[in-house]
Chains A and B, each alone.
Chain A
Amino acid sequence: MGGDQVVSPVQPPGGGRNLYDLYDWRRPEPKTDEEEVPTHLNTTTCGHFLVISTDKLSARYTGEGRHGHDVGAIQANRPAPQQKLLYYFEIFLKDRGQRGVISIGFTDENFKMSRQPGWEPNSYGYHGDDGKLYHGQGKADNFGPTFTTGDTVGAGINYASQELFFTKNGKLVGPVMKEGKGPLYPTIGLHSPGEKVEVNFGQKPFIFDIEALVQEERERRQRSVESVSLPLSISHSVVRTYLLHYGYQDTLAAFDVASGGAFPPVVVTSSEGSTVGDSESYALEQRKILRKLTREGDIDGVFSKLREWYPELLQSGVSLISFLLHCQKYIELVKAGSLEAAVNYARVELASFFGVSSFEDTHLQDCLALLAYEHPEKSMVSYLLHVAQREAVADAVNAVILATNPPNLGKPSQSALEMLLRQLTACLMERRYLNGNQGEIFSLQRVLQGGKDGGCEPCLAQVVVYFVASSSQPLSVSTIVLHCHVGGSATFSSACAHPRDKVGICFMITSWAKLG
């Protein structure tokens, strides 16, 4: 028997889920790092026939361009990021040189830097001298116009459609199917004396309106999602069962009164013939009272009601629910400033939980750490003092009571809403996985935070993020400020006329913080 075996009343039978999961979300999660993006040319692996500027953003050909193996090709320092909807970069042709055999495209990590993009396996290149699109081992297709001195040419990856696309002077030239699934590096190739190009990885604004393309792509998907038809009043029913599940009884009553008549009562027959109301309204009144007591911080009240109604839940002295309640009682004492009482309580009630499992140990350590700070509300463990902590304990109490309902045995104690959101996330993750782990990662939080005007806002946030992330220079932050047309930081919340500005600003603040 391992140390983290769970004592029986704690685990809803058969669900594969237990209170640890239910409780886990409270602990602050480590921030996931922003995906790194190309910022400059990679001078360590580039071809022999190039001179690279000191800022590593422009290249000049110095070879003679006599045969097929003296191309000067160069990749970006990093592959195109794969967690975005689109990736895009541009080059500006300063000088076409003798023959203007300049190309732009994408190549994989095995690419030979003495060759043009599009001449080697898993590489793609749009060539300036003939306007053709080369891919794989030198297959060439008529593609678009030629390009020469003074032109700006761009190349991008659309992960949603699994296509590459190219642009010339701000106009889309066309898409081409992307075949491989691995990471691709932005790449340029030069091949005649005097050729010189500058690369823009987003350190300055693009000529092509990439925001518009992102928006278009999102709207396409949005339309496709919106065209799905939903069963009548399904949202209403999901909300209702959610309120029932968590014992938000007063809300439920107000909701039912307000929607009475407007919606048909949700009569849902499950496979066993019982209605949803039957199992979801189990012990509703009791669950409501316990939730209220917990939310008010009256943990003694919770203990006394539980002893009266569900003595079996507290019988085992080390059950997880008693552990959480004892911890909460201790936290309430700390919050009330009764530190001595808190210490005594910890000695009497909490000490015996040490060593039960790693969960208990971690949580206990956090709890006890509260004593170490003069201002615990500013410490790493301040989350324990937050009102949401009470809510989490209330949810745990609610869950153990739901699990005592005989028809519920063997069913996971989750609301329909939670299961639907899990299914949604799992489906999108699996789909992304089967797409070679490319494309945006779904985040419920982003859906919730973004979009005061529907689906288009997150994309603007994305683009802003892109601009910032594409340069390691703090300079790019000022680009953002210009980009958002927002002035002083003190007045920004009233200054933003459009919600899009708000998103830009939110990000700006985090980047300021990051940059110190």
Chain B
Amino acid sequence: MSSSKKVITREEWEKKLADVKIRKEDMNKLVMNFLVTEGYVEAAEKFQMESGTQPDIDLGTITDRMAVRKAVQCGNVEDAIEKVNDLNPEILDTNPQLFFHLQQQRLIELIRSGNVEEALQFAQEELAPRGEENHAFLEELERTVALLAFEDTASCPVGELLDVSQRQKTASELNAAILTSQSHEKDPKLPSLLKMLIWAQNQLDEKASYPRINDLVNATLEDPVT
């Protein structure tokens, strides 16, 4: 089968590439979408000025969203919750899992700061009742409370909860929920298109040999394998 694969030469392929119409406007939209979704608010403002591309969301909401995100990243979960509720109280009301993860993060921050007493009280009063409603929540709660048992958290099996990446994870989940509440998709389109490119090249590999782009950064065409 593989020997009968169609071979497309570099010349033929370059002609096909040249025939594709890519509108500048669409590329601008892709870039704007990336800046907005990833929260590059100043870059988005500048880009609107320099390219005339309209953002697909009110840029003011990015500033709020980024403030919420930053609060979680710095460990100020209470502050983040307050800010989200200012933005739109429905986000947490309609999203029990997210709310639990934020409370869990708050517990983690209390444990991190060595506030054992307060941490225990918070776990029992705020988190335990939610654990009773949902088994997965309960497991997470138990995992988190286990942090208290270790003086040296480096050797703790659940020590990863204290890692910065846990804050990032919670912050991303919150960020996504805010975007969804603003009827904006939670992921930028550009990475999906790049994934689709790799996927499409792999699919086409099964049927034809043609010049691939393996180096996405420089976007250079390889010679077709014959």
Give A contacts to B, CB under 8 Å.
16-17, 21, 24-25, 29, 224-226, 228, 230-231, 234-235, 237-239, 241-243, 246, 248-255, 257-259, 266, 268, 270-271, 276, 291-292, 295, 387-388, 390-392, 395, 414-431, 434, 444-445, 447-448, 451-455, 499
Q: Are B26 and A448 closer than 8 Å at their CB atoms?
A: yes
Set of chain A residues within 8 Å of B143, measured between Cβ atoms: none
- Distance in angstroms from B7 CB to nearest chain A CB is 12
Closest to B28 in A: A391
What are 24 A-B interface contacts by the 8 Å CB criterion? A25-B21, A29-B21, A225-B195, A230-B194, A230-B195, A230-B216, A231-B217, A251-B35, A251-B46, A251-B51, A255-B35, A268-B217, A292-B50, A387-B52, A388-B52, A416-B217, A418-B22, A420-B194, A421-B27, A444-B26, A445-B23, A448-B189, A454-B185, A499-B183
Set of chain A residues within 8 Å of B43, measured between Cβ atoms: 251-252, 254-255, 258
Q: Are B197 and A424 closer than 8 Å at their CB atoms?
A: yes
When A243-B31, A420-B197, A424-B200 are in contact, do A430 and B208 touch as well, CB less than 8 Å? yes
Give B contacts to A, CB under 8 Å.
6, 8, 13-18, 20-27, 29-31, 33-35, 40, 42-43, 45-47, 49-52, 180, 183-204, 207-208, 210, 213, 216-221
Give chain A's interface secondary structure class.
helix
Set of chain A residues within 8 Å of B183, measured between Cβ atoms: 452-453, 499
Of A252, A292, A434, A499, the residue contacting B207 (CB under 8 A) is A434
Q: Are A238 and B194 closer than 8 Å at their CB atoms?
A: yes
Of B30, B196, B210, the residue contacting A430 (CB under 8 A) is B210
Closest to B34 in A: A239
- Distance in angstroms from A159 CB to nearest chain B CB is 14
- Distance in angstroms from B114 CB to nearest chain A CB is 28
- Distance in angstroms from A245 CB to nearest chain B CB is 10
Closest to B211 in A: A423
When A255-B35, A448-B189 are in contact, do A420 and B213 touch as well, CB less than 8 Å? yes
Closest to B19 in A: A426
**Alpha-carbon gap, A445 to B14, bound state (A):** 22
Starting from the known contacts A224-B199, A242-B31, A255-B43, 13 additional A-B residue pairs (CB-CB under 8 Å) come to A25-B21, A25-B25, A254-B42, A258-B40, A391-B51, A423-B213, A424-B197, A426-B16, A430-B16, A431-B200, A431-B204, A448-B30, A453-B185
Q: Are A270 and B218 closer than 8 Å at their CB atoms?
A: yes
Q: Are A238 and B185 closer than 8 Å at their CB atoms?
A: no
- Distance in angstroms from A265 CB to nearest chain B CB is 13
Closest to A246 in B: B51
Of A24, A25, A235, A257, the residue contacting B194 (CB under 8 A) is A235
Q: Are A238 and B192 closer than 8 Å at their CB atoms?
A: no
Set of chain A residues within 8 Å of B198, measured between Cβ atoms: 228, 230
Set of chain B residues within 8 Å of A239, measured between Cβ atoms: 31, 34-35, 190
**Alpha-carbon gap, A101 to B51, bound state (A):** 65
Residue of A25, A238, A429 with highest tally of chain B CB at under 10 A: A238
- Distance in angstroms from B20 CB to nearest chain A CB is 5
**Alpha-carbon gap, A387 to B189, bound state (A):** 25
Residue of A235, A271, A387, A392 with highest tally of chain B CB at under 10 A: A235
- Distance in angstroms from A447 CB to nearest chain B CB is 6
Q: Are B17 and A415 closer than 8 Å at their CB atoms?
A: no
Of B8, B46, B197, the residue contacting A250 (CB under 8 A) is B46
Residue of B42, B43, B194, B218 with highest tally of chain A CB at under 10 A: B43
Q: Are A231 and B6 closer than 8 Å at their CB atoms?
A: no
Q: Are A448 and B29 closer than 8 Å at their CB atoms?
A: yes
Set of chain B residues within 8 Å of A235, measured between Cβ atoms: 34, 188, 190-191, 194
- Distance in angstroms from A252 CB to nearest chain B CB is 8
Q: Are A16 and B6 closer than 8 Å at their CB atoms?
A: no
